[in-house]
Amino acid sequence: MQVYLVGGAVRDELLGRAVSERDWVVVGSTPQEMERLGYRAVGREFPVFLHPVNQEEYALARLERKTGPGYRGFETQFSPQVTLEQDLQRRDLTINAMARGADGTLVDPYGGRRDIERRLLRHVSAAFAEDPVRVVRVARFAARFAALGFTVAADTLELMRRMVDNGEINALVPERLWRELQRALGEPAPEAFFDTLQACGALPVLLPELGWGDAERRDLQRAAQVSTDPVVRFAALVAALAPDAVTALCQRLKAPSEYRELALLCARLLPRLLGMAASDAAAQLELFELADAFRRPERLTLLLLAAQSRPAVTAAASESLRRAFAAAAAVTLPPAQLSRLAGPAIAAALRAARLQRLQGLQRSE
């Protein structure tokens, strides 16, 4: 039984990046032996075990054989005879197909270290083409490492194009597409995700609702500079779509509610925000009400961050709106006035007082 550190931990160590999690491959063992040693089985499709002390994942070395379309169309084979090199060969990119032994020796049968030095995202073998998830994974790694100078190798990009042309990409289920998209939006250069999918022809197949050109690319870059929150970045990405298109896209991708709600709010209110610099107090108050900001003030904060992806909504304009909202939200009605009102009359009086406060604020500025 031999244990090796594998995958992202080895890659990030060679890149000088912090290692956030560690995965291990066990060669020469069986499920029965792992359980006797105190490891707890958690894998459903292949043998994965949690370490009895640190809870890190240990997987038995395995092979995969393509049996059907899509990422689920695989038969997993494992035995003590499967070698480390065979296990590494089934991985997507060479930079993810390296291992370290217990003595610190680097095991690199497919040139991952060389590709790190050349800043290349390159597939390990022709088996790459058997799994459509790998197309979007490569795009996500492009978003992660673009700032370090990484590009997709020409032969890998060509292989991705063939997966689009032969229809393999159509087997990608919405849940897996969303998972990779969501993670890509949190990377340092999310625009590289869409650049890569565009370059291999997958973008109009996977995300036909999205336009992707220079303007859209710049908008997403600006959103990434304003906020690291993928919820904000997603809203900025789809803000130019019609609300019905945003709703349909989010339903198809099964996007979580916080993504769907902010994206829809941004699509509905961005036209107002683009002209807000010249707006009066009544328009400001209406914007706050449409955003439900008095009840959920955090929505306005996120909305303004997403809107700053457009040049017309500057940081100064956003800050001015935040100040205006804070002033309006601080308005209260005197107890004597409240005692004379009931029901809708209270809401009407509070709205009038907020409008008066906003008008006074504008005059003072």
| Cβ–Cβ under 8 Å, residues 330 and 353 | no
The mean pLDDT of 334-341, rounded to a whole number, is: 87
Question: Is pLDDT of 23 > 70?
Answer: yes
- The rounded mean pLDDT for the chain is 93
- pLDDT tens for 34-58 read 999 999 998 776 788 999 988 899 9
Residue whose C-alpha is closest to residue 168's, from 140, 138, 134, 197 = 134
- pLDDT tens for 202-248 read 999 999 999 899 999 999 999 999 999 999 999 999 999 999 999 99
Tokens 């089934």 sit on residue? 90
Least confident of 7-11, 122-126, 271-275: 271-275
Each domain of the chain, given as residue ranges in start order, spans 1-111, 119-208, 222-365
The mean pLDDT of 139-143, rounded to a whole number, is: 98
Question: Is pLDDT of 70 > 90?
Answer: no
Bridge-based pairing of strands 48-50 and 40-41 is antiparallel
**Cα distance between residue 304 and residue 322, in whole Å:** 9
**Cα distance between residue 350 and residue 345, in whole Å:** 9
Distances (CA, A) of 251 to 212, 254, 302, 330: 21, 5, 21, 37
Q: What's the pTM value of the predicted model, to 2 decimals? A: 0.89
Per CATH, the architecture of 119-208 is what? Orthogonal Bundle (1.10)
Q: What are 197's two structure tokens? A: 């999918």
- pLDDT tens for 109-136 read 999 999 999 999 999 999 999 999 999 9
Distances (CA, A) of 18 to 105, 111, 119, 143, 184: 20, 22, 18, 17, 18
Residue whose C-alpha is closest to residue 321's, from 291, 347, 350 = 291
Question: Is pLDDT of 275 > 90?
Answer: no
Q: What CATH number labels 1-111?
A: 3.30.460.10
Residue whose C-alpha is closest to residue 262's, from 270, 252, 273, 271 = 270
Share of the chain above pLDDT 70, in %: 96
The torsion angles phi and psi of 53, rounded to 5 degrees, stand at -110, -55
| Cβ–Cβ under 8 Å, residues 155 and 181 | no
* Residue 78 binned pLDDT confidence (cut-offs 50, 70, 90): confident
Cα torsion 63, 67, 71, 76: sign: negative
pLDDT top residue among 1 and 282: 282
Q: Which amino acid is at 225?
A: Q
pLDDT top residue among 187 and 277: 187
**pLDDT score, position 73:** 54
**pLDDT score, position 69:** 59
Confirm whether 1-111 and 119-208 share one CATH topology: no
Question: Is pLDDT of 276 > 90?
Answer: no
Q: What are 340's two structure tokens? A: 């004379």
**Cα distance between residue 347 and residue 94, in whole Å:** 63
The mean pLDDT of 96-113, rounded to a whole number, is: 96
Find all residues with CB under 8 Å of 24, minimum gap 6, and list them: 3, 4, 5, 6, 56, 57, 58, 59
Q: What are 224's two structure tokens? A: 């990434």
Instruction: Give DSSP secondary structure letters for 57-100.
Output: EEEE-EEEEE-SSSTT-EEEEE-TT--HHHHHHTSSBGGGS-EE
- Please give the span between the terminal C-alpha atoms of the chain, in angstroms, as a whole number: 74
